Amino acid sequence: MTNSTQQPESIVIVGGGTAGWMCAAYLAAKWSKRYRITLIESAQIGTVGVGEGSTPFLKQFFAELGWQESDWMPACDATYKTGIEFSNWSNSKRFKRYFHP
């Protein structure tokens, strides 16, 4: 930008994966009329694809985008989980285990 009053026209997200694509989806849903949203990801770096989990906030996130579970669950080959346990995630004896329903 050469002029301090000039507004950006596009937003570029560098890096795909869950975080990159969620960021791109959110920005596109909220700001696609104002900005051009672009995501750049490497063809050489694969995705984790296994072991990723979420908390109940994910459902709220997709609802904010106007997406139903039937829109994204099959496409992601996702499964429902009834809870997640975090074991040995702290050095404190008091917090060795945490379970989130």
Q: Which of 33, 81, 93, 96 does the annotation list as catalytic?
A: 81
Q: Which residue has the tokens 């694809």?
A: 49
Q: Which of 71, 73, 75, 58 is nearest to 22 (CA)?
A: 58
Please say if 33 is a catalytic residue: no
H/E run at residue 62: helix 57-65
8 Å CB contact between 26 and 65: yes
Active site residues: 81
